[in-house]
Structure 1
Amino acid sequence: MKLRRRTLLAGAAATAGFAALPGCASIPRGRKSGFVTRQGTRLLRGGEPYRIVGANMWYAAWLGADTDYGDRGRLVRELDRLQALGLNNLRIMAAAEEGPLKNSIKPGFTRTDGSDNAALFEGLDFAMAEIARRGMTAVLVLSNFWEWSGGLQTLLFRNTSEYIDMGDPAHPWPAFADATAKFYQNTGALESYRAHLRNIVGRTNTVTGILYAQDPAVMSWQLANEPRPGGSEAAIARNREAYLGWIASTAELLRTLAPNHLVSLGQEGTQATNGSEELVKAAHEQVDYLTAHIWPLNWSWVDGEDLAGTWPEGRKKVAEYLASHTSMARDLDKPLLIEEFGFPRDGETYAPGTTTRFREQFYRMIYDAVESSWREGGPLQGSNFWAWNGEARAQHDDFRFVDGDRTYMGDPPHEPQGWYGNFDTDRAMLALVSGHAAGISAS
């Protein structure tokens, strides 16, 4: 049986034209600069509309580290490829917490005792300097509801000495989500979280000499990856006020520390609230824009081994999810970003070179919705696909990540390597992404 991604909820260059480009010493001609701001449902940069064509690249800081696990040469090559595709935004991790969780990445930004791993902070510095040189921006994610980077469950462990592994048969769903949501009411865990937040936001980049709080390359500080108020209805009800309080207080803290930057939540949308639109809207009241994530396979909207038979119905559900979240954004008069969306390769295979016919249809559906919104002045302002694998390749025949592996890709360490990410040789996918990016100027 194939593993489902992070939630278990429902139970050489790409082409000759994308060869590595030399690093740019300044913002390329035609690239917008300055801080990203919000005006109603629009994002602006330099006073002009800022439309997001982005990717998820959680591992950028790891590649940027000047260590045995880093690879700055590869990071530069990957950013050159993404720039050549026309991307202008990356969503990356600015936190990872070491601890006992089975599938969490190591090293982390903070060690088990809470102390800093200076090399990874400097890796983030290098990554952000390279992102800025290309005129791109980044969303910096400050923790994770899921286990693959340690996350909120690890912060709880540091303060309670208790933890649950995601997928542990002894603790079936929704035990992990319910346990992790205790974070919002744990004083010690909250303070550990805020300490890291202050450390990052108040940091001076060792490469550029710019304070993170004053860096225009930071588009948004994101509270966490996919933070939920719980998994069960009882836990959601129990944690609701603490969850909303954490969002409001953290947003206020970020605006105090970094008043020029946007604040985002990182929530999936109604999939995170057991279908409650009211709670999604309440959760986004205190942040600058709405986020939605769309995972048809993870949510059992399609069957990876029968995409031809199940995609038509899955497509309808994707359309409904897009419509409902666009409507909520319009109600709140805020932008919407589809900041994660992923789909398997045909036959749910993992190797480069296998076909992506149904993934292409899914991406085209997301991109059509975004482009329509651009043309019509709607709230949907862009998207970030999950995820960029680039030149990385699985190191083992079973496509599993093993502690000590250094060939990071968009599929996190608990997932099959090659499941959702796009490789530098996925010509059809890269052409699709590049064509969408070209639509910015045409809309």
Structure 2
Amino acid sequence: MDVFLSERITKKGLLYPIIGLVVCMTVINISFGGFGTHDKESQKRFVRTEGTQFIINGEPFYVNGWNSYWLLTQSVEERNMIRITAMFESAIAMGLTVCRTWAFNDGAYNALQVSPGRFDERVFKGLDRVIVEAQRHGIKLLLSLSNDWSDFGGKIQYAKWAKEAGLNPNTNSNDSFFFDPYIRGYFKNYLKTIITRRNHLTGIEYRDDPTIFAWELMNEPRCESDPSGRTLQHWIEEMASYVKTIDKKHLLTVGLEGFYGPSSPHKFKFNPTEDSKNLGSDFIPNSEVADIDFTSVHIYPDMWLPANKSLPEKKRFVSNWVISHIKDGEQVLKKPVLFTEFGLSAKRNSISYSQRDEFYKHIFDLIYNSALQKGAGAGSFIWQLFVDGMDEFSDEFGVVPKKRPSLYWLLKVQSCRLAKVSHVEKWEWFPSLFRSEKDSVWRAAEVYC
């Protein structure tokens, strides 16, 4: 062997381990952000709370969001993903930041949970795709985990499963969802399964994915069989605590409509009807639960108030309703308040599109005024948005934004206003957008947005 060849072998013998070490360190650095920095950066992308505000990346975060409950059902067939993409693209064009959608479908067509503890992987992969598509568009998701209503199964399906299994005679009541130990076990199993789900596209468990804004225990929980509110209160405490043992990174809310119950008789005047206090939900104690990070309220004067109420009367109710709950967040709960559903029917009482716009603008102004004062009013979610070719998913509140230019602009202007309050950099190039107040703000925003 000549000397030159011997030197090459010696250098290679030293070089290969060094190259291997460098490659290994590079892979680790790319994968984990440089020995600990990745986890810190990832944590910044999760929304958290500081008092009555949401915080992300160290800045206040005010939500202009929307409801599209149908994302899961559409995601099952990959060919329908074009609708989800179109919805997200429409949303980001309006500056919307969070979508509230169902992460449940119990025992129905294309069910996620076919029967207690048995899940359809095909449907779960659809939900995986929804999360990835949301992340790709910079949208966060508020995922609701059950329903008080029969749509897509909900508590009625759980009670039916328990009854069919012959587990407990109490399952004659759908409210057994809240107190029957077997059904509570069903639901806890569901919670654990979905929260620890590993996305087949990213390899990330849902509980580790900052694309998820928060979990919502249930859409509009009521327990009318116990108007004292104690049954629902105990259920919220138990389920909230259980979720937090599995997932400490994400925020958690209940999913309340906001009705004041027996603990707050001085607040009954804000309820839409006399019977509202007897629905088994109780806004203050339900929201005070330690493991509940923020509270939610819905706004449906069409559904709640007598049919003969005029639009000005509905707006007065909304003002009192919204301001009362914001004050609760600030003075009692010390938590953010999200108005996660609001709508005005296009069919009832011959309400015109311009009147609906007036109603929506009224809500947006209330939220914006709270944001300006760093109050607890942290955002709102219009019910509901969809895209062309989805008439079967619509209702008397549904809107295709591009078909309603005036509402499209209302949503976009609200996004501009809240982004400015949140100090979002991409809106900083609007040089004089927010120098004026009230209606002039809307006119300025329409120019610059």
Shorter chain as denominator, the TM-score bin is 0.7 to 0.9
Give the structure with the larger helix fraction.
2
Q: Please state whether the residue corresponding to 1:338 is helix, strand or coil.
A: strand
> Equivalent residue for 2:342?
341
The correspondence for 1:90, drawn from 99, 106, 111, is 99
Contact 1:226 1:266 in 2 (8 A): yes
Compute the displacement of 1:246 (Å).
1.4
What amino acid sits opposite 1:275 in the alignment? K
> Equivalent residue for 1:421?
398
> Equivalent residue for 1:28?
none
The correspondence for 1:223, drawn from 190, 211, 217, is 217
* Structure 2 runs not aligned, ≥5 long: 1-42, 166-171, 263-275, 422-449
Contact 1:41 1:335 in 2 (8 A): yes
* Inter-partner Cα distance in structure 1 for 2:281 and 2:87: 40
Compute the displacement of 1:179 (Å).
3.6
* Inter-partner Cα distance in structure 2 for 1:33 and 1:135: 15
CA 1:356 to 1:272, structure 2 compared with 1: closer, same or farther past 3 Å?
farther
**1:137-286 superposed matches below 5 A:** 137-161=140-164, 179-230=173-224, 235-237=226-228, 240-270=229-259, 274-275=276-277, 279-286=282-289
* Structure 1 runs not aligned, ≥5 long: 1-31, 99-104, 163-177, 304-308, 395-400, 402-408, 410-416
> Equivalent residue for 2:410?
432
TM-superposition CA deviations, 1:338-392 (whole Å, max 9, x none): 000011126668xxxx951121111111100110011011100001110112223
TM-superposition CA deviations, 1:216-265 (whole Å, max 9, x none): 111111101011122xxx6222xx33321211121111112111110100
* Inter-partner Cα distance in structure 1 for 2:68 and 2:85: 13
Residue 136 of structure 1 pairs with residue 114 of structure 2: no
> Equivalent residue for 2:355?
358
Q: Please state whether the residue corresponding to 1:291 is helix, strand or coil.
A: strand
Residue 332 of structure 1 pairs with residue 337 of structure 2: no
Q: Please state whether the residue corresponding to 1:108 is helix, strand or coil.
A: coil
Residue 35 of structure 1 pairs with residue 53 of structure 2: no
The correspondence for 1:300, drawn from 278, 298, 305, is 305
CA 1:49 to 1:185, structure 2 compared with 1: closer, same or farther past 3 Å?
same
* Inter-partner Cα distance in structure 1 for 2:175 and 2:46: 33
What amino acid sits opposite 1:341 in the alignment? F
Q: Please state whether the residue corresponding to 1:377 is helix, strand or coil.
A: coil
What amino acid sits opposite 2:409 in the alignment? A
> Equivalent residue for 2:67?
56
Contact 1:338 1:384 in 2 (8 A): yes
What amino acid sits opposite 2:226 in the alignment? A
| Structure label with greater radius of gyration | 2
Q: Please state whether the residue corresponding to 2:252 is helix, strand or coil.
A: strand
* Inter-partner Cα distance in structure 1 for 2:314 and 2:389: 30
CA 1:297 to 1:278, structure 2 compared with 1: closer, same or farther past 3 Å?
closer
Compute the displacement of 1:334 (Å).
0.5
* Inter-partner Cα distance in structure 2 for 1:142 and 1:422: 24
Normalised to the residue count of structure 2, the TM-score between the two structures is: 0.74
* Inter-partner Cα distance in structure 2 for 1:378 and 1:434: 22
Q: Please state whether the residue corresponding to 2:305 is helix, strand or coil.
A: coil
> Equivalent residue for 1:14?
none
Normalised to the residue count of structure 1, the TM-score between the two structures is: 0.75
Report the aligned-residue RMSD.
Answer: 2.4
Q: Please state whether the residue corresponding to 1:368 is helix, strand or coil.
A: helix
CA 1:246 to 1:154, structure 2 compared with 1: closer, same or farther past 3 Å?
same
Bigger relative contact order (CA 8 A; separation at least 6): 1
CA 1:179 to 1:228, structure 2 compared with 1: closer, same or farther past 3 Å?
same
Aligned length: 355
Q: Could you tell me the percent identity over the aligned residues?
A: 24
Compute the displacement of 1:40 (Å).
0.4
* Inter-partner Cα distance in structure 2 for 1:204 and 1:37: 22
Q: Please state whether the residue corresponding to 1:235 is helix, strand or coil.
A: coil
Q: Please state whether the residue corresponding to 1:293 is helix, strand or coil.
A: strand
